Amino acid sequence: MKKVILSVGVLLGCVINISAQQDKHFSMFYASKSQINPASAGFFEGDFQLFTNFRNQWTKVSDNPFRTFSGAFDTRIEAGNGFLGTGINFYNDVSGDTKYTVTQVIVPINYAIKLNRTSHLSFGLAPSFYQRSLKTTNVTWDSQWTGVDFNTGLNSGEAIPSQNLSVGKFDLGAGIYYQGDLSKYSWIAFGVSASHLTKQKINYFDIDNGLYRLLSFQAYGSFSQNNSNFTLKPSAIASWQGPNAYYVIGSGFDFMLKGNSLHTGYFQRTSIEFGTYFRVKDALILNAIFHSTGFSVGASFDLNVSTLNVATGGFGAMEFYLAYKIRKPRGLGAPSIH
């Protein structure tokens, strides 16, 4: 019966225009900013950035929990009084007995205007392809229960066809992003972005079901001092999509283990970072990240603090990411973009 409820619940959520529509989200949202805001592509220390992460959610609730994978690449090209930022993002989410799948390929493109020596204002667009699919052949119904098990060969009596369903549409996002240095050792950044601007219809049948537009506000910072081994890295995000709202705030606490080479630049900074974040009305998020010579590897754990913890036992999700920043050789005094 649990399997029936989960299957039918996921299926109904796909085919009926209900208010619970929700987009992708990650606990370590600050690790790859271009996945949220196309205007932030190219804002990182280095010249090329590779990123991938995996999220496993609600393993205590379902035998087929949410599994989310994403990948990203971004870079920048100096152009005029600023630079062009671009890349490619990939996102795939699979959940439930129906294998409800959302896949999206996004190409962020922006132009960052150099306001002064230490700050930029960027405007970006994100054309993409958005697809979702499910397998109704895996769904079982009460009318197929024989008293011992489910017989999928029996007529379900339902109007929903037993087949694999898929629909894909063009999607469009946009964003604005500002970043500026407060000192040689500190900087702040703010962004506003919107997704699903086309509000495309993604229904499988004849039911009108358009994606809600997603609006997000992001804020990031990094604060340190001369001769200090400690850096404070606060981050926050607020998102609104239809009737849904999503708020996360917290900070990373970065402790330097080894600094950059003073002259050769051969050795880069090595540090370990611990973070505490709170997703309002949902979960406490704890993470640990290791940074060394352009590589970053991190893991986070979501501890449910809402009424959902009755079902999850407090275990909300685990998330892992790996990133690599590549820096081309350059002369001393070249500008750095965080």
8 falls in which pLDDT band (50, 70, 90)? very low
Q: What per-residue confidence (pLDDT) applies to 162? A: 55
Q: Which residues contact 141 (CB under 8 A, 6 or more apart)?
A: 4, 8, 156, 157, 158
| Model confidence pLDDT, tens digit, residues 198-220 | 988 777 665 566 789 999 999 99
Q: pTM of this prediction?
A: 0.83
> What domain range is 90 assigned to?
2-326
The enclosing domain of 33 has a CATH number of 2.40.160.40
338 domain residue, yes or no: no
331 domain residue, yes or no: no
Domain count for the chain, please give it.
1
Q: What is the largest CA-CA distance in the chain?
A: 76
Other C-beta atoms lying within 10 Å of the C-beta of residue 18? 12
Q: Which residues are 138's β-sheet partners? A: none
> Are 126 and 117 in contact, with CB atoms under 8 Å apart?
no
221 domain residue, yes or no: yes
Alpha-carbon gap, residue 326 to 274, rounded angstroms: 24
Q: Which two tokens stand for residue 139?
A: 């769904």
Torsion angle defined by CA atoms of residues 106, 190, 211 and 26, in that order, rounded to the nearest 10 degrees? 70
Using alpha carbons only, what angle is made at residue 75 by residues 87 and 211, rounded to the nearest 5 degrees?
A: 30
| Residue 285 in this model has a pLDDT that exceeds 60 | yes
